[in-house]
């Protein structure tokens, strides 16, 4: 019995593992262990066998070069833009005058149309239709620009509208019919606005234009420049609201080519509006008048970006009773009320005294005679023709 118990208590012998099993166990342990990833080393290229790479059948696409803005130093490969419009290209046609010449420029004569993109020369103020370098026009094929502009407008307009046609076009441009309109602001009728008007005329025969700000002091100039530069016709005006008709013979496919300005040019330097002494007065009298002008009751207070169409007749009537007139311009930009003062000087006419403390003070002068002309429109102008048969 003891012998049997001893035999049963003995453990069976463990078979010796083979070398293949040990190698397989080490390889699986090395690959599954994280220590191998951190502490393993790569053999040098001389010991590692080279694996032949398969040829790539599809070559890589070439990368698109990065965008580089155009420069004036680049050679010009495109043809210069040409326009047959018979007038000088200016940034603003209502806020700039050909009669007032600047005394200097704030920047070099760099064209706002882009370097070498227009066949007209930029003089710093405008791009004239006729080359200013030409001394004599004799022997050249230069037509009369005024006559050419009048013939182009007459050809596009055709027969005038009758009352019924005009009322239908005006009714279609009212606010309850359409929300499309062009806003004319402090810069007035700009060059790029001409392109906007022609874009509106692609889809409709008339376009609504809302005028606000400094240019509304002289509404006659706005209407004249709109008809002159667009070859259209104003068929309705109520305050600063205009309706511009394109004409019977207008063809959108044959619209004039208008090169666009890429940026706004700097304004030139003009002579000072306020002089040290007023003409005909001494220094002491000028100082006394400026002090007294700031204490005069204000004629009116101008709102920012408002309609100023009634300002000129108000100043004319006030100067009949008072020697000095003050206009409150608090809240307006400095450049805005200076432009308003310049317009009052030419339209009333009057003499500018001071712009201090955001006020416009004007003096009627010694021999004041109010101008009587057709400048002033009524608040609403009627275009009905009594002889026209409105069917």
Neighbours of 51 (CB within 10 A): 6
Query: Looking at beta carbons, which pairs linking 163-170 to residues 24 or more positions away fall under 8 Å?
Result: 163/384, 163/385, 163/388, 163/389, 163/390, 164/390, 164/391, 166/235, 166/236, 166/245, 166/383, 166/384, 167/390, 169/205, 169/206, 169/235, 169/243, 169/245, 170/206, 170/235, 170/236, 170/243
Question: Is residue 238 scored above 50 in pLDDT?
Answer: yes
Residue-range domains of the chain with CATH: 77-132+142-271 (3.30.110.60), 283-363 (3.30.110.60)
What is the average pLDDT score of the chain? 83
Check pLDDT > 90 for residue 330. Answer: yes
Compute CA distances 91 → 84, 112, 188, 222, 302, whole Å: 18, 9, 9, 14, 26
State percent of the chain over pLDDT 70: 75
Average pLDDT value for residue range 274-294: 91
**Token output for 139:** 């022997």
Per-residue confidence at 375, pLDDT binned at 50, 70, 90?
very low
Given this model, what pLDDT does residue 4 score? 46
89-146 confidence digits (pLDDT tens): 999 999 988 888 899 998 888 899 988 888 899 999 999 988 777 654 444 445 688 8
Closest by Cα among 383, 99, 35 to 234: 383
What pLDDT shows up at residue 42? 66
% pLDDT > 90, the chain: 57
Confidence of residue 160 (pLDDT cuts 50, 70, 90): very high
Angle between helices 311-321 and 334-347 (to 10 degrees): 60
Interatomic CA distance for residues 370 and 376, integer angstroms: 13
Q: Which helix (H) or strand (E) holds 300?
A: strand 298-301
Which residue in this structure is represented by tokens 């239709």?
129
Residues 18 and 41: their CA atoms lie apart, in Å, by 28
pTM of the model: 0.75
Query: Cβ of 279: how many Cβ atoms within 10 Å?
Result: 9
Per-residue pLDDT at 269:
92
pLDDT for 90 equals: 95
Is pLDDT at 319 greater than 60 in this prediction? yes
User: What does each C-alpha distance from 344 to 216, 236, 314, 338, 383 come to in angstroms?
Assistant: 12, 26, 11, 10, 28
**Rounded mean pLDDT, 157-162:** 92
Residue 75 has pLDDT above 90, yes or no: no
- Cα end-to-end distance, the chain, whole Å: 141
Looking at residue 391, its pLDDT comes to: 38
Q: Does position 2 have pLDDT exceeding 50, yes or no?
A: no
Cβ neighbours, 10 Å, residue 302: 21
Helix and strand element counts for the chain (H, E): 10, 11
Alpha carbons 306 and 212: distance in angstroms, whole number: 6
Phi and psi, residue 5, nearest 5°: -65, -40
Q: Which long-range contacts (CB under 8 A, 24 or more apart) does 192-195 make?
A: 192/260, 192/261, 194/229, 194/230, 194/258, 195/258, 195/260
Backbone angles phi, psi at 175, to 5 degrees: -65, -30
Instruction: Say yes or no to pLDDT of 385 above 70.
Output: no
Which helix or strand (DSSP H or E) is residue 362 part of?
Answer: strand 359-363
Provide the token pair at 174: 């009212």
In the structure encoding, which two tokens stand for residue 120, read together? 């007209």
Average pLDDT of span 166-174: 94
Dump pLDDT digits (tens) for 17-72: 555 555 555 555 544 556 556 666 666 666 666 666 666 667 777 888 888 776 65
């Amino acid at each position: 019995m003891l012998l049997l118990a001893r035999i049963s208590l003995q453990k069976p012998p463990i078979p010796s593992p083979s070398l293949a099993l040990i190698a397989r166990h080490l390889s699986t342990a090395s690959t599954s262990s994280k220590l191998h990833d951190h502490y393993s080393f790569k053999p040098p290229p001389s010991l590692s066998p080279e694996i032949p790479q398969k040829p790539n059948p599809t070559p890589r696409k070439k990368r698109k070069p990065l965008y580089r803005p155009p420069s004036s130093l680049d050679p010009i490969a495109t043809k210069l833009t040409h326009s047959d419009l018979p007038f000088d290209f200016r940034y603003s046609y209502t806020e700039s005058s050909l009669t007032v010449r600047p005394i200097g420029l704030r920047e070099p004569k760099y064209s706002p149309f882009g370097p070498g993109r227009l066949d007209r020369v930029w003089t710093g103020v405008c791009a004239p239709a006729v080359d200013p370098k030409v001394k004599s026009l004799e022997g050249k094929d230069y037509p009369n620009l005024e006559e050419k502009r009048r013939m182009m407008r007459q050809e596009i307009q055709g027969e005038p509208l009758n009352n019924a046609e005009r009322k239908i076009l005006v009714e279609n441009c009212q606010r309850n019919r359409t929300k499309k309109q062009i806003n004319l602001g402090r810069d007035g009728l700009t060059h790029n606005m001409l392109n906007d008007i022609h874009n509106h005329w692609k889809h409709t025969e008339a376009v609504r234009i809302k005028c606000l700000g400094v240019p509304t002091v002289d509404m006659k100039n706005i209407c004249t420049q709109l008809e002159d530069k667009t070859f259209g016709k104003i068929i309705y005006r109520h305050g600063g609201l205009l309706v511009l008709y394109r004409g019977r013979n207008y063809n959108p496919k044959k619209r004039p080519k208008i090169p666009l300005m890429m940026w706004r040019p700097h304004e030139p330097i003009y002579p000072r509006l306020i002089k040290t002494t007023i003409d005909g007065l001494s220094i002491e009298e000028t100082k006394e008048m400026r002090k007294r002008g700031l204490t005069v009751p204000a004629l009116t207070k101008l709102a920012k970006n408002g309609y100023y169409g009634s300002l000129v007749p108000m100043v004319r009537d006030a100067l009949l009773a008072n020697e000095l007139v003050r206009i409150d311009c608090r809240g307006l930009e400095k450049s805005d009320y200076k432009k308003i003062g310049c317009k009052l000087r030419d339209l009333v006419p009057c003499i500018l005294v001071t712009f201090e403390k955001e006020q416009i003070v004007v003096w009627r002068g010694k021999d004041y005679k109010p101008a009587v002309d057709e400048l002033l429109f009524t608040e609403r102008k009627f275009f009905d023709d009594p002889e026209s048969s409105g069917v």
